[in-house]
Structure 1
Amino acid sequence: MTYLQISAVGKSFTRGAASTEVLRDINLHIDKGEFVSIIGHSGCGKSTLLNLVAGLTEVSTGGIVLENAEVHKPGPDRAVVFQNHSLLPWLTVYENVNLAVAKVFGRTKSAAERHEWIMDNLNLVQMAHARDKRPNEISGGMKQRVGIARALAMEPKILLLDEPFGALDALTRAHLQDQMMEIHARLGNTMIMITHDVDEAVLLSDRIVMMTNGPAATIGEVLDVPLERPRKRLDLAGDRTYLKCREAVLKFLYERHRFVEAA
């Protein structure tokens, strides 16, 4: 049975007398435990689609159903990790994660259980050693690890990632990509990630959703990535399946870019 069902979803924004259709007729099903990436040119509504799934924005038409429950507002069953880590600067690493844990499990876990759960998630992203540091005392990559720990600590049904590594240097980005694959393998989370990076999409994903250009963007193609897990980036560098998937995404994006230029 489909875990997440996005059916005939459209989204328009109105400002005064002007209305802009951002998304049109989005249809997508995602199974439990899948890692799905959404890719497309700037302005194609990728982040808008993610916000609709998160419940941060209401759909204009159609509907979104997660495990037989309609999505119409934010909830702890959907955790978002943004490109900006969004940590509170006056709180420590531990306290930032505790915000989410106290909100979700304040009535169901004891203080000792909540503490253990916070440390489990900090250990998962290798940040337990920095539990007492504040955001201005750690690197950008470390901040994103804390943001991921905070999201995972909510035990969400779906983890939503909005270009989580986009602001990081290449080496840090690669390390976090590898760590995200390890987390996905260990926990079996359902993950949806927005990205501009073709290699990142192919490396991490089970499927890649390719969006047409906006306005009124929709899903152009969905590409299966039939690469066995676990995946190691160095082993995939010359892998024919990896290269074929990469070529298919690049071709789609190039054709869309050429279409825009011609218009």
Structure 2
Amino acid sequence: MDKFVELTRVGKHFETRKGRFVALREVNLDIARGEFVSLIGHSGCGKSTVLNLIAGLLEPSEGGLICNGREIDGPGPERAVVFQNHSLLPWMTCLGNVQLAVDKVFASRSKAERRERSEAALRMVGLDHALHKYPSEISGGMKQRVGIARALVMEPKVLLMDEPFGALDALTRAHLQDELLRIVGQTRSTVVMVTHDVDEAVLLSDRIVMMSNGPAATVGDILTVELPRPRERLALANDPLYHHYRGAVLEFLYQRQRRPAA
């Protein structure tokens, strides 16, 4: 495997009023360039903590993290994050919200080039008709697409997504999942996504990292999803291999992880 992101014996603890809380222990994970990896597990298993460590928003208590051969020691434009909350600035248009990232990362480019780059990112997510609309004038799904465009326009080496579709209705979520499949196929991005949705994980991922229950959570198992790409949702609906992978994740989540400790 071409190791692009490496987590080696990563641990994370937090000091609280009740003492030390150990969120993660001995997390080892290698992610290849261009791979789509999902992190899944019960609430409190440290999925978002792992994502925030890769993003550089948290520092590990033990172990180390490497991206593209360099130690992760803080946030950087090579790692873009899409949160569940779109986090758009309400006084700026969709174009303005995206161009904010462009102006920061590509400050040396001309104004015209920065604008074209921003418009192209919004076209990629199907929002060329909403360039001049404000967040209050568009739907939740459209806001999330602006957030994805803002992340992609930075040309990150790694796209980090923390339950990006979790707050959306089922139909909007399915549509954006299909959009993400198309965009990732086009950009060949390396993606790490936190999700609670088993079907979403199987549909999108090359590998699914299943976290053990917290506290002191770690990687419980890793499932390789060998479904050919490009993937079509309707075609997979009756695919026995798709249902095999789905069943394997459910078995881990709802049987192994609910067994009482010996």
Partner in structure 1 of residue 251 of structure 2: 251
Residues 89 and 134, structure 1, Cα contact 8 Å, conserved in 2: yes
Give the AA of the match of 1:45. Answer: G
Residues 6 and 29, structure 1, Cα contact 8 Å, conserved in 2: yes
Matched, 1:120 2:120: yes
Residue 256 of structure 1, CA deviation: 4.0
3-state SS in 1 of match to 2:86: coil
3-state SS in 1 of match to 2:142: helix
TM-score normalised according to structure 1 size: 0.97
The aligned runs of 1:181-220 (5 Å cut-off) are: 181-220=181-220
Residue 128 of structure 1, CA deviation: 1.4
Partner in structure 2 of residue 97 of structure 1: 98
Residue 15 of structure 1, CA deviation: 2.0
Residue 20 of structure 1, CA deviation: 0.4
Give the AA of the match of 1:2. Answer: K
Residues 35 and 206, structure 1, Cα contact 8 Å, conserved in 2: yes
The aligned runs of 1:51-66 (5 Å cut-off) are: 51-66=52-67
Residues 118 and 153, structure 1, Cα contact 8 Å, conserved in 2: yes
Residues 93 and 132, structure 1, Cα contact 8 Å, conserved in 2: yes
Identity of counterpart residues, as a percentage?
Answer: 61
Residues 212 and 256, structure 1, Cα contact 8 Å, conserved in 2: no
The aligned runs of 1:8-27 (5 Å cut-off) are: 8-16=9-17, 18-27=19-28
Give the Cα–Cα distance (whole angstroms) in 1 for the partners of residues 235 and 69 of structure 2: 40
Give the Cα–Cα distance (whole angstroms) in 1 for the partners of residues 155 and 189 of structure 2: 9
Decide which moves more: 13-22 or 83-92. 13-22
Residues 212 and 257, structure 2, Cα contact 8 Å, conserved in 1: no
Which portions of structure 1, spanning 4 or more consecutive aligned residues, are displaced by more than 4 angstroms? none
3-state SS in 2 of match to 1:12: strand
Partner in structure 2 of residue 163 of structure 1: 163
- How many residues are paired up? 261
Decide which moves more: 250-259 or 38-47. 250-259
Residues 89 and 135, structure 1, Cα contact 8 Å, conserved in 2: yes
> Residue deviations 1:16-35, cap 9 Å, x none?
46100000000000000000
- 1:256–1:43 CA distance, 2 compared to 1 (3 A): farther
* Structure 1 gaps, min length 5: none
Residues 37 and 195, structure 1, Cα contact 8 Å, conserved in 2: yes
Partner in structure 2 of residue 40 of structure 1: 41
> Residue deviations 1:200-245, cap 9 Å, x none?
0000000000000000000000000000000001110111110110
Give the AA of the match of 2:147. Answer: G
Residue 259 of structure 1, CA deviation: 2.4
Give the Cα–Cα distance (whole angstroms) in 2 for the partners of residues 184 and 29 of structure 1: 19
Residues 213 and 256, structure 1, Cα contact 8 Å, conserved in 2: no
TM-score normalised according to structure 2 size: 0.98
Residues 3 and 67, structure 1, Cα contact 8 Å, conserved in 2: yes
Give the Cα–Cα distance (whole angstroms) in 1 for the partners of residues 210 and 16 of structure 2: 28
Partner in structure 2 of residue 72 of structure 1: 73
Residues 211 and 218, structure 1, Cα contact 8 Å, conserved in 2: yes
